[in-house]
């Protein structure tokens, strides 16, 4: 089997939500001497394909979640989740969480998986997170991006307060917001740098904010 065919199979394991298949790929990769970067690129390509199918609704959220799980499994095998390394410098860190007053974390969890899949170092603070906690963690981790989520209208004031405080206290940090009750206008009104309608559009929005050409933090796309 050629390297190209092998990597195609790696990508397909993500598309097909095939954890066993991925395990087999990793097992064989050892003997073929494939680089970690090549494997990661192939898996990310697979997730990209699923993400685009989620955008046109030919893939459902549960199917997408399973694909993200398989990719996470692959990332764990690559030992990237805990200490992502990039040959040309430090990885971009993103602090993410659901704002105070909201515990709906499905959207945030999907987004976290996608960001990790694209090679970002994600610090997930969970749900019902106060502005103090967000800012403390951003400072401590020297994160470049703060990502805030809410599915409810009641915590919107907490979100606004977090964005305002972050822009005032840490102006170099970009803030991106998302969630069912938000739109671009509200994001603009809050003073956020970006708005992601869903996990599908998020990588492009992060790229826009960072002013880079690649949606991945680790690999250049072909």
Contact footprint for other proteins (CB under 8 A): 57, 60-63, 65-66, 69, 101-106, 109-110, 152-157, 180-183, 185-186, 189
Closer of 41 and 175 to other proteins (Cβ): 175
Closer of 35 and 154 to other proteins (Cβ): 154
Helices 36-55 and 61-77, packing angle to 10 deg: 170
Token look-up 């090679």 returns 119
Least distance to other proteins from the beta carbon of 189, Å?
7
Least distance to other proteins from the beta carbon of 195, Å?
11
Cα dihedral across residues 19, 20, 22, 26: positive or negative: positive
Closer of 160 and 167 to other proteins (Cβ): 160
Closer of 92 and 127 to other proteins (Cβ): 127
Least distance to other proteins from the beta carbon of 130, Å?
13
Closer of 169 and 188 to other proteins (Cβ): 188
Least distance to other proteins from the beta carbon of 157, Å?
7
User: Exposed/middle/buried for 39, CB within 10 Å: 0-12, 13-18, 19+?
Assistant: buried
Least distance to other proteins from the beta carbon of 132, Å?
17
């Amino acid at each position: 089997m050629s390297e190209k065919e092998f990597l195609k199979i790696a990508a397909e394991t993500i598309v097909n939500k095939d954890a066993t298949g991925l395990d087999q790929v990793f097992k064989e990769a050892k003997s073929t001497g494939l680089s970690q970067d090549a494997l990661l690129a192939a898996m990310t390509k697979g997730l990209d394909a699923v993400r685009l199918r989620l955008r046109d609704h030919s893939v459902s959220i549960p199917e997408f979640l399973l694909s993200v799980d398989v990719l996470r499994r692959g990332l764990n095998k690559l030992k990237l989740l805990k200490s992502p390394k990039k040959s040309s410098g430090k990885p971009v860190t993103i602090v993410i969480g659901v704002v105070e007053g909201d515990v709906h974390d499905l959207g945030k969890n999907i987004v976290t998986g996608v960001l990790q899949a694209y090679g970002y170092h994600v610090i997930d603070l969970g749900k019902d997170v106060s502005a103090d906690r967000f800012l403390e963690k951003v400072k401590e981790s020297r994160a470049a991006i703060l990502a805030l989520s809410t599915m409810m209208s009641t915590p919107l004031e907490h979100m606004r307060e977090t964005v305002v405080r972050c822009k005032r206290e840490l102006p170099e940090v970009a803030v991106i917001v998302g969630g069912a009750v938000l739109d671009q206008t509200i994001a603009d009104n809050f003073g956020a740098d970006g708005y992601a309608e869903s996990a599908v559009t998020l990588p492009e929005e992060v790229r826009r904010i960072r002013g880079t050409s690649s949606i991945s933090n680790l690999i250049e796309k072909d």
